[in-house]
Structure formats: structure tokens, C-alpha cells
Amino acid sequence: MFESVASGGGFFSAPGASYNSMGGDITNNTGAIYFSNDPRFYSYGPVNRTAELAFLSGTFHRMAQTTIHELLHHAGFGDMALAKTAAFYRGEKVSFANTWEGTLAASNYWDKLLTEKCH
């Protein structure tokens, strides 16, 4: 799937976007993933290689997690379904607003479990 996105719609950085997202359709080789951050290292002065490497490793680590999150969407799993699965896995009840904002909260909820349990 990673290869399909890389050779299809591609990976894009969209600094300033309020959330990461996906686009296109992996089934016709147009699947894309959009990151809301800027992965470039900026230095006001001589480049400190140690600082640059630390910044890049942390940034790419988060982007790798985002990629897994978005690939699951490309695989056809939605935020509400994944949040309900996470709630079952955790053995807890959770109520999300029946609105767009509630779905965003659901996205953050299952993503947090992914981060906690898959590290």
C-alpha cells in the first residue's frame, strides 16, 4: 500500500493544514497522503547537524505514524468504526458527538491507542 501511494497520488506536505488527511483512491492508483507539518529543518545560522538530525528523526517518526493512520483509511476503515474497535479493545465506553467534530475526536481516540500500543 505504501508503494501504491508513493507511485500513485503521492505523499505531500501541506504546512498550515489543520489535520493530516488522505485523498484519491488506492484502488485506481491515485491514493495520496497529506501531512499537515513541514518536515524541513530551518536554521538561522550555521546548520547544527545534531539538532537537524534530532528534528528530522522526530518529525519522520510522527509522519510514519500518520502514514499508518491514513493507510488504514485507504484500506477502507473509517474513524468511527476504528474508534469503536479501540473502545472494545480497551474495554471502555466512550461517547462522541454525532457531528463532524465527534468524528474528529473519534479519529484522535483510536490514533492515541495506535501510538500507545504499537510502540
Of the candidate residues 57, 99, 118, 119, the single one contacting another protein (CB under 8 A)? 99
Site map (CB under 8 A) of another protein, residues 59-98, x = contact: -----------x--xx-x-xxxx--x--xx-xxxxxxxxx
Binding to another protein, residues 17-36 (CB under 8 A): 21-22, 24-25, 27
Closest CA to 2 of 60, 72, 56: 72
Crossing angle of the two packed helices 100-117 and 49-74, in degrees rounded to 10: 120
Considering only CA atoms, give the Rg of the chain: 16
Residue 36 and residue 20 in contact, taking contact as beta carbons nearer than 8 Å: yes
CB nearer to another protein: give 4 or 21. Answer: 21
For another protein (CB under 8 A), the number of binding residues is 34
Is 10 a binding residue for another protein by CB under 8 A? The answer is no
Distance CA(33)–CA(37), nearest Å, equals 12
Distance CA(118)–CA(116), nearest Å, equals 6
Is 37 a binding residue for another protein by CB under 8 A? The answer is no
Interface residues with another protein (CB under 8 A) are: 21-22, 24-25, 27, 70, 73-74, 76, 78-81, 84, 87-88, 90-100, 102-103, 105, 107-109, 112
